A and B are shown apart, each in its own frame.
Chain A
């Protein structure tokens, strides 16, 4: 494997972990919004993501630093062509983090708490939608085989295919969150709460299913390049994704929540890797590839070594974090 391909794979892994785990945190915001005044539901959502969401968010920073260190020209082109949707995504991320961090708890008793919770919820819808349109728009320009004259192509992030991917990304986040929260509350043993998140999950499953039915028609008409990849090189991943989606629905239906969580993660990962296969080897448009946009060999080598060391350091710590909060509380002092 060439050095650029190795680092592109590292970037892909980092983006996948961000999309699935931080995606679940965005989905938690969506569920919080939908829970209205149901404080017990919102308490369970906050308890699930509270300790982990900051760490999950760092995968985004990590991805960006890999992107601009290893593929600086592509980072530059992305920032120029996608100023508008990325600014929207960024504003949403910031509003969501700040609102969740600043509200003291999930209860709706005071107006300030309620306002912050609603901001948290709305921003959690906007961020994955904006990221989805970026991914959809990139897939359209990067899969078309014609060479464009402009080094920075126009990216149709507001086109039908991009909007569809935005909706799909948002739904995926809600689906992930419903699975995460349901499998967390199963341990605390409140059957009403578990049922509530199961119902939400099934609703989003139905939405996901209908979007997946529309998707081929939209892709075939609005994004022929994407369509050819989906039925070509990306087909195995599409099959895995569909299988995971079905498994997820069945697991949720039969109340096997850990299986549902695993299937939702696999489903999300398949969506991401399907996108990567469609893009490969292009980063943005058909001229900037992982080879033509790569930094010098020395820079790539340094990033590869640093990236590997970082994963060795971070993954055990991440495991520790999730393990500590999988345990019940010892005692209540405060």
Chain B
């Protein structure tokens, strides 16, 4: 092997493998999130066109479908990378887990199949089907996209709260595929992820058109896009708060070491307070800008103001995440952004009820413009909380990440190659989407796109 391709020896074999799959997943997550959210928005917009006959809705659905076509191609490719990488990077984990948690992956295959088939019909069928049939062909896409996310996240939930099998003399036995899939974390983790995807897409779309309005394009096209996106956000954002709270209880009950890392609890406390802030900066003991609300963590986690919460320091060093400060930072970031987005969508909704078009002042538009990237950041941070918070385990308290990595050499080279590929794909995707956005909006009367 040419040694010039290898990064510095400081990057260990395991770190290279983890970095490669981590990079792949965080790249894919962006496309997966839009892949779940955009079909619903397309279907709603096209449905509004069928109902009202307003050509602006059709123009929006058409434009979103073009963007979706590009994102779906890149998302399908990056998803393929992950299905290979499970075997190429973590073969010993797959030899162990494949027979237990393979079922949701196979079912995800079915959902992906239906999605790809109807994406073909929807994207290329605008002129081949009646308007109604075309709209109907979008509905399976929206359903299949959610189903895909659901199945994949049940597998992730199993890694966090493994169940549905026994280990006898080091061998996996008594496998119950349905019990593994419907493990104790399935409901809370999947609903949190699907809502997160819908919200990020909604804020992402609103953000694009808010920036357009800031640049002076205040027309019906932009207004309708923002109204649809932020209505979706206003309905779903409060639900996400509830889903996040329930998922927190799941973690508290099944992943005590992860809970301690997330909440920044170092010593075991009876009637633990909730740390708000408490940034784990180097040289400080997790107490930077901290406000501690007495007993609240015990209430939130266990419904009992005096319930003890185990501190991270009480776990053996080998069994607790070495990345606790990052887990805490990611969690603070996710919750902080999420709370801000809930406030923003409620603000927009309240103001819209009074007026007709919703607030269009400069600061509201700037806030909405910033909300899109932040919502995607919150999704990525949430995923980091799940993955880094589970370390050093790949399957919590059962199978260590270091035991799963491949014995093949050369991970430094593959990590370098795939990182370069992702950089190139990101640049190409941005270029391609911008080119779609730069095209004039087709099929609209001039009044709809004129400055109002």
The interface of chain A, by Cβ under 8 A from chain B, is 50-52, 54-55, 57-58, 60-62, 64-66, 68-73, 75-81, 83-84, 86-87, 90-91, 93-95, 97-98, 100-102, 104, 112, 116, 295-296, 298-299, 302-303, 306-307, 309-310, 313-314, 317-318, 320-321, 324-325, 327, 329-334
Taking CB atoms, residues of chain A closer than 8 Å to B176 are 298
Q: Are B70 and A102 in contact (CB under 8 A)?
A: yes
| Known A98-B425, A310-B109: A295·B80 in contact at CB below 8 Å | no
Q: Are B178 and A84 in contact (CB under 8 A)?
A: no
Given contacts A330-B127, A334-B443, 13 further A-B contacts (CB under 8 A): A54-B119, A57-B116, A65-B102, A66-B106, A70-B99, A80-B406, A86-B84, A90-B81, A104-B432, A299-B100, A302-B102, A302-B178, A333-B126
Q: Are A334 and B126 in contact (CB under 8 A)?
A: yes
Q: Are A104 and B103 in contact (CB under 8 A)?
A: no
Q: Are B99 and A65 in contact (CB under 8 A)?
A: no
Q: Are B80 and A307 in contact (CB under 8 A)?
A: no
Query: What's the least CB distance linking B269 to chain A, in Å?
Result: 42
Q: Are B91 and A80 in contact (CB under 8 A)?
A: yes
User: DSSP class of B's interface residues: helix, strand, loop or mixed?
Assistant: helix
B44 at the A interface (CB under 8 A): no
Q: Are A70 and B102 in contact (CB under 8 A)?
A: yes
Q: Are A62 and B113 in contact (CB under 8 A)?
A: yes
B293 at the A interface (CB under 8 A): no
B315 at the A interface (CB under 8 A): no
Contact partner of A98 (CB less than 8 A), chosen from B73, B79, B177, is B73
Q: Are B94 and A68 in contact (CB under 8 A)?
A: yes
Number of interface residues of B (CB under 8 A): 76
Considering the chains assembled together, what is the distance between the CA atoms of A71 and B127 in angstroms? 44
Taking CB atoms, residues of chain B closer than 8 Å to A86 are 84, 88
Query: What's the least CB distance linking A7 to chain B, in Å?
Result: 10
Taking CB atoms, residues of chain A closer than 8 Å to B408 are 80-81, 83
28 contacts between A and B (CB under 8 A): A54-B119, A55-B116, A55-B119, A60-B80, A62-B106, A68-B98, A68-B102, A68-B105, A69-B103, A78-B87, A79-B84, A80-B407, A83-B408, A87-B417, A95-B421, A98-B77, A98-B429, A296-B99, A299-B102, A299-B177, A302-B177, A310-B109, A310-B110, A314-B113, A320-B121, A329-B128, A330-B127, A333-B443
Query: What's the least CB distance linking B401 to chain A, in Å?
Result: 16
Q: Are A303 and B103 in contact (CB under 8 A)?
A: yes
| Known A54-B119, A310-B113: A72·B94 in contact at CB below 8 Å | yes
Q: Are A54 and B106 in contact (CB under 8 A)?
A: no
Which residues of chain B from 76 to 130 have any CB-CB distance to chain A below 8 Å in the complex? 76-81, 83-84, 86-89, 91-92, 94-100, 102-103, 105-110, 112-114, 116-121, 123-129
Query: What's the least CB distance linking A238 to chain B, in Å?
Result: 31
| Known A50-B124, A320-B117: A97·B103 in contact at CB below 8 Å | no
For A70, the closest partner residue in chain B by CB is: B102
Query: What's the least CB distance linking A132 to chain B, in Å?
Result: 17
B140-179 to A contact mask, C-beta < 8 Å, 1/0:
1000000000000000000000000000000011111110
| Known A87-B88, A98-B74, A299-B99: A54·B116 in contact at CB below 8 Å | yes
Q: Are B175 and A296 in contact (CB under 8 A)?
A: yes
Q: Are B84 and A90 in contact (CB under 8 A)?
A: yes
B72 at the A interface (CB under 8 A): yes
Query: What's the least CB distance linking A315 to chain B, in Å?
Result: 10
For A87, the closest partner residue in chain B by CB is: B414
Taking CB atoms, residues of chain B closer than 8 Å to A102 are 70, 73-74, 428-429, 431-432
B175-206 to A contact mask, C-beta < 8 Å, 1/0:
11110000000000000000000000000000
